[in-house]
Structure 1
């Protein structure tokens, strides 16, 4: 009986760690949370049907939070990718002074792999930005004097 109590204590610690609310949601395990709740409820003398219902509620809560987090993370990634794509559209209008990529083409790595880069070199981005800033002057408010 002593070994069972020690094993149960170790299991409860592991389940608590895997489902603790202080752990970031992307690392929380819904199944661990449900299992922890059912064990706690049964050892407290709760009727089994009620214990399972509470465990399912805890499982569904963590699972819902994880789904919300995943949707949010995907939306943020898509927004970052769209921002990079928009920046690259402007940047690729000029040739790259670092790797020699022609206008319209992707930069290539200067390291051993030499593969295509997802983002252009910083020098190319600065050059494109400076040219873009020069071609679209901002009107000053002083010209509206009337």
Structure 2
């Protein structure tokens, strides 16, 4: 099946909201018949992206938006938050020799997905992640 669809959600910037993003991506994975190895990578990348958005959002803006699109054997995930933003391309790889307690998220996202872009505009940060797949 070559499914084409889009799912959207806006949810509070709280760790409890990870269940919303996980449920939405699980639905997309099922509808698009994405193989388990690709599904695991997509789920992991989304979890890291939403966790980072929750941790770094501005206190007075409490919502995160998620858009999931599937088209022609590719799943695209866009996580939008209203945090301060960061220099995405300047984030160093983790220090694997010393294993610090954090700093792995962007690395995991980049390694899990085929294409990752970050955009900061006047009102939001938009992390877009894409992964190609062959439907089951």
TM-score by length of 2: 0.32
Q: RCO (CA 8 Å, sep 6+): is it higher in 1 or 2?
A: 2
In proportion to residue count, which structure has more helix?
Answer: 1
Larger radius of gyration: 1
In proportion to residue count, which structure has more strand?
Answer: 2
